[in-house]
């Protein structure tokens, strides 16, 4: 059997751990720049705050219902995620961390899966304060379904649902709408509904040839999974194949210097990420986008790919290539609202084959410099070392409701006093 463990309303729950007075109250977490709602407690969902809705549209709703509003605190959420995953890893030799708040565990032949799942829930709750739901089933896709049932019916299931019979499988698939199946997105849902398929069970029973034709092998695998045949294997923790840093600006920017400063900052962040996993990159993508939402202006998005003549992880070298690409797509007199950098085409630092001539290789002297910068920045919570061309502040973000870095910054550790 396979378990899917999912943290309930993860970001909102993280805020609650460090502020228990929020329990039973509506809590929401906003995206960067306090733009839109990206997490909601159950109470917030109940009063009709939609996922992804722009914050300015629900200010009144916030006020009327006394909603606790938080700016995204990814340092805190990332650390809480590591703690939860670490506890859960003790429950199986095979764990796949699927996202910041979800993981699969291979439970093999656990005799009493229900008790096992409830024990996990109790353990994670007691050690981290984060509530989780557990779904257990023969395949990953069915474990997703089981998890949804556990979450939807907490009092009946105790937060853990085990799909261990054919009757339960069919009942669940009759209950689940096809657009809510893991792996069926908007586009495929429309196609399926047009073909008269509305419930997950209808999809599971469709002809393979239709699925193959319309949804490729991905669809076939998914369909088999829903029928109890394991097709989606556990993927080992591997290195990422690309890293992006993209941001929506807090206002529009137009001048070359402003744009360059920000894009260089994004590049430095992305380069630090690839060094951390000991990769070198040899391709870069840069994009710029004008403001979406002004009807007076057309949306303009331009991107460029830069192929490096060698593989490198040096911020200095990567920045040069990024700026050369940026020059090609930057246009004066436009109002930019978003930009980003993606690094990819990685090779392993250890197994990298250098070119014959030194001038076709990365500058080896940068390595020590980068190591030193990374080491200093690791211990600095106030920006650390940066390039002169970088943004003075790492971000210029609206973060009006930011909570503390309770677990990752010594200055924010909570003090507990006995009275």
Q: Interface residues with DNA (CB under 7 A)?
A: 31-33, 35-36, 38, 52, 54, 56, 98-102, 144, 181-189, 216-218, 235, 240-248, 273, 292-293, 305, 337-338, 340, 342
C-beta closer to DNA: residue 31 or 65: 31
Pairwise CA distance, residues 83 & 105, whole Å = 16
The three-class DSSP label of residue 252 is: strand
Report the nearest approach of DNA to the CB of residue 247 (Å): 4
Kindly state the smallest distance separating residue 73's Cβ from DNA, in Å. 13
Q: Which residue has the tokens 């003549």?
A: 309
The residue (of 27 and 245) whose beta carbon lies closer to DNA is 245
Residue 298 C-beta: closest distance to DNA, Å? 16
Q: Least distance to DNA from the beta carbon of 273, Å?
A: 6
Minimum gap (Å) between residue 419 Cβ and DNA: 40
Q: What angle do CA 232, 233, 236 make, to 5 degrees?
A: 135
- Is the Cβ of residue 110 or residue 140 nearer to DNA in the bound state? 140
Nearer to DNA, 269 or 373 (CB): 269
Q: How far is CA 193 from CA 173, 187, 189, 226, 279, in A?
A: 16, 10, 6, 18, 44
Whichever of 68 and 181 has its CB closer to DNA, that residue is 181
Cβ burial, residue 399 (10 Å; 0-12/13-18/19+): middle
What is the edge-to-edge ordering of all strands in the sheet holding 102-106?
95-99, 102-106, 2-7, 132-137, 160-162
110 vs 272 by CB, closer to DNA: 272
Residue spans of beta strands (DSSP E) within 102-254: 102-106, 132-137, 160-162, 242-253
- Closer of 110 and 221 to DNA (Cβ): 221
Q: How far apart are CA 264 and CA 64, in angstroms?
A: 42
Bridge partners of residue 304, in order along the sequence: 286
Tokens coding 259: 């744009």
Nearest approach in angstroms of CB 370 to DNA is 18
110 vs 163 by CB, closer to DNA: 163
Residue placing its CB nearer to DNA in the complex, 110 or 262 = 262
Question: How far apart are the C-alpha atoms of 299 and 314, rounded to whole Å?
Answer: 33
Minimum gap (Å) between residue 356 Cβ and DNA:
19
21: left (phi over 0), alpha (psi -120 to 50) or beta: alpha
Cα 229 vs. chain centroid, distance in angstroms? 28
Minimum distance from residue 109 beta carbon to DNA (Å): 26
| Spatial distance between the Cα atoms of 286 and 305, rounded to a whole number of angstroms | 7
Q: CB 390 → DNA: shortest distance, Å?
A: 16
Is 18 in contact with 404 (CB distance < 8 Å)? yes
State the Cα–Cα distance between residues 266 and 36, nearest whole angstrom.
22
Q: What is the helix (H) or strand (E) element at residue 55, kind and residue range?
A: none
Alpha-carbon Rg for the chain in angstroms: 24
């Amino acid at each position: 059997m396979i378990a899917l463990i999912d943290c309930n309303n993860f970001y909102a729950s993280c805020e609650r751990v460090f502020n228990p007075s929020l329990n039973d109250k509506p809590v929401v977490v906003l995206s960067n720049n306090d733009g839109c709602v990206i997490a909601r407690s159950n109470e917030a969902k109940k009063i009709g705050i939609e996922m992804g809705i722009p914050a300015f549209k629900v200010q009144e709703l916030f006020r009327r219902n006394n909603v606790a509003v938080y700016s995204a605190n990814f340092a805190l959420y990332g650390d809480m995620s590591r703690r939860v995953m670490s506890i859960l890893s003790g429950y199986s030799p095979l764990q796949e961390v699927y996202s910041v708040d979800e993981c699969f565990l291979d439970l093999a032949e656990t005799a009493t899966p229900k008790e096992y799942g409830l024990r996990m829930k109790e353990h994670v709750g007691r050690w981290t304060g984060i509530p989780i739901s557990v779904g257990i089933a023969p395949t990953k896709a069915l474990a997703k379904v089981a998890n949804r049932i556990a979450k939807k019916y907490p009092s009946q299931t105790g937060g853990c649902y085990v799909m261990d019979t054919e009757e339960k499988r069919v009942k669940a698939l009759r209950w689940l709408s096809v657009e809510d199946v893991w792996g069926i997105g908007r586009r495929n849902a429309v196609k399926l509904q047009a073909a008269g398929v509305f419930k997950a069970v209808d999809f599971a029973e469709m002809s393979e040839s239709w699925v193959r034709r319309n949804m490729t092998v991905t669809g076939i695998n998914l369909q088999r999974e829903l029928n109890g045949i394991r097709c989606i294997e556990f993927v080992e923790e591997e290195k990422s194949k690309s890293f992006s840093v993209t941001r929506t600006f807090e206002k529009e920017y137009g001048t070359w210097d402003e744009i360059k400063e920000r894009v260089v900052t994004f590049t430095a962040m992305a380069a630090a990420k690839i060094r951390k996993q000991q990769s070198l990159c040899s391709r870069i993508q840069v994009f710029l986008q004008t403001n979406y939402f002004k009807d007076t202006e057309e949306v303009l998005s331009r991107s460029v790919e830069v192929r490096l003549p060698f593989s490198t992880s040096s911020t200095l070298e990567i920045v040069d290539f990024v700026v050369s690409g940026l020059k090609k797509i930057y246009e004066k007199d436009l109002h930019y609202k978003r930009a980003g950098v993606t690094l990819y085409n990685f090779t392993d630092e250890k197994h990298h084959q250098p070119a014959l001539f030194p001038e076709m290789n990365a500058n080896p002297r940068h390595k020590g410099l980068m190591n030193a910068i990374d080491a200093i920045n690791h211990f600095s919570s106030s920006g650390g070392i940066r390039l002169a061309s970088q943004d003075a502040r790492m971000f210029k973000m609206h973060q009006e409701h930011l909570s503390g870095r309770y677990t990752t910054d010594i200055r924010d550790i909570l003090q507990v006093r006995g009275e």
